[in-house]
Amino acid sequence: MTAIIASYNSISMLASLNWDRLLYGATIAVALVVGSMFGNLFL
């Protein structure tokens, strides 16, 4: 039981440290998609 709790704590710590990296990646992907839509619209 102690091992399960320790692994859960480490996974939640990694998730809390890396959530901003996922957000940055999603923001870049959305910006690329929106940019290509505007490029196709104006050309």
Question: pLDDT value at position 8?
Answer: 64
Structural domain count of the chain: 1
pTM of the model: 0.56
d(CA 43, CA 29): 21
Question: pLDDT value at position 1?
Answer: 63
Question: pLDDT value at position 4?
Answer: 66
**Which residues form the domain of 34?**
1-43
| 1-43 confidence digits (pLDDT tens) | 666 666 667 777 777 777 778 888 899 999 999 999 999 988 7
Enumerate the H helices of 1-43 as residue ranges.
2-42
Question: pLDDT value at position 16?
Answer: 74
